Amino acid sequence: MSTPDSSYIEWLESQSMLQAARERARHYAGQARLWQRPYAQARPRDASAIASVWFTAYPAAIITAEGGSVLQALGDDRLWSALSELGVQGIHNGPMKRSGGLRGREFTPTIDGNFDRISFDIDPNLGTEAQMLQLSRMAAAHNAIVIDDIVPAHTGKGPDFRLAEMAYGDYPGLYHMVEINEEDWPLLPEVPAGRDSVNLPPALVDQLKDKHYIVGQLQRVIFFEPGIKDTDWSATGVITGVDGKRRRWVYLHYFKEGQPSLNWLDPTFAAQQLIIGDALHAIDVSGARVLRLDANGFLGVERRAEGTAWSESHPLSVTGNQLIASTIRKAGGFSFQELNLTIDDIAAMSHGGADLSYDFITRPAYHHALLTGDTEFLRLMLREVHAFGLDPASLIHAMQNHDELTLELVHFWTLHAYDHYHYHGQTLPGGILREHIREEMYERLTGEHAPYNL
Confidence of residue 1 (pLDDT cuts 50, 70, 90): low
Report the distance separating Cα 328 and Cα 43, nearest Å: 12
pTM of the model: 0.92
Q: Which of 219-228, 308-317, 403-412 has the lowest average pLDDT?
A: 403-412
Give a yes or no: residue 20 inside a domain.
yes
392 has pLDDT over 60 = yes
Residue 446, pLDDT score: 86
Residue 349, pLDDT score: 87
Same domain for 366 and 444?
A: yes
Which of 85, 55, 87 is closest to 73 using CA atoms?
Answer: 55
Under a CB-based contact definition with an 8 Å cutoff, are residues 267 and 174 in contact?
A: no
Same domain for 30 and 148?
A: yes
Mean pLDDT of 286-315: 93
Confidence of residue 417 (pLDDT cuts 50, 70, 90): very high
Same domain for 87 and 191?
A: no
Give a yes or no: residue 76 inside a domain.
yes
53 has pLDDT over 80 = yes
Give a yes or no: residue 383 inside a domain.
yes
Which of 81, 198, 95 is closest to 142 using CA atoms?
Answer: 81
Under a CB-based contact definition with an 8 Å cutoff, are residues 262 and 175 in contact?
A: yes
Per-position DSSP letters for 269-289, written without gaps between them: -HHHHHHHHHHHHHHHTS--S
449 has pLDDT over 80 = no
Same domain for 231 and 339?
A: no
243 has pLDDT over 70 = yes
Residue 450, pLDDT score: 83
Mean pLDDT of 344-370: 91
Residue 406, pLDDT score: 73
Residue 60, pLDDT score: 84
Give a yes or no: residue 261 inside a domain.
no
Mean pLDDT of 159-166: 98
Q: What are phi and psi of 316, to 5 degrees?
A: -65, -30
Mean pLDDT of 374-382: 97
Mean pLDDT of 315-338: 95
Query: Residue 88 is part of a domain; what is its CATH number?
Result: 3.20.20.80
For residue 449, give the H/E element and its range. none
How many domains is the chain built from? 3
Report the distance separating Cα 204 and Cα 188, nearest Å: 8
Same domain for 375 and 440?
A: yes
Give a yes or no: residue 355 inside a domain.
no
Residues β-bridged to residue 247 = 239
Mean pLDDT of the chain: 94
Give the domain range for residue 233. 159-252
425 has pLDDT over 80 = yes
Same domain for 21 and 139?
A: yes
Positive or negative: CA dihedral 435, 440, 444, 445 = negative
Strands 395-396, 420-423: pairing kind: unpaired
Same domain for 306 and 422?
A: no
Beta-carbon contacts of residue 301 (< 8 Å; ≥ 6 apart): 176, 215, 218, 252, 261, 309, 310, 311, 314
Same domain for 372 and 281?
A: no
Please tell me whether residue 298 adopts helix, strand or coil conformation.
coil
Same domain for 89 and 115?
A: yes
120 has pLDDT over 90 = yes
Which of 302, 339, 178 is closest to 247 using CA atoms?
Answer: 178
Under a CB-based contact definition with an 8 Å cutoff, are residues 118 and 102 in contact?
A: yes
Give a yes or no: residue 111 inside a domain.
yes
Same domain for 119 and 26?
A: yes
Give a yes or no: residue 135 inside a domain.
yes
403 has pLDDT over 70 = no
Same domain for 292 and 146?
A: yes
Per-position DSSP letters for 211-228, written without gaps between them: TTSS----S--TT-BTTT
Where do runs of H (alpha helix) occur along 99-201?
129-141, 159-165
Same domain for 41 and 107?
A: yes
Confidence of residue 404 (pLDDT cuts 50, 70, 90): low
Give a yes or no: residue 43 inside a domain.
yes
Residue 400, pLDDT score: 58
Report the distance separating Cα 27 and Cα 363, nearest Å: 41
Strands 290-293, 145-150: pairing kind: parallel
User: Percentage of residues in the chain with pLDDT exceeding 70?
Assistant: 98
- CB-CB neighbours of 83 under 10 Å: 21
Q: What share of the chain is helix, strand, coil (3-state, %, to 5)?
A: 40, 15, 45
Annotate 286-316 with b (16+ C-beta within 10 A) or e (fewer): bbbbbbbbbbbbbbbbeeeeeeebbbbbbee
Strands 90-92, 233-236: pairing kind: unpaired
401 has pLDDT over 60 = no
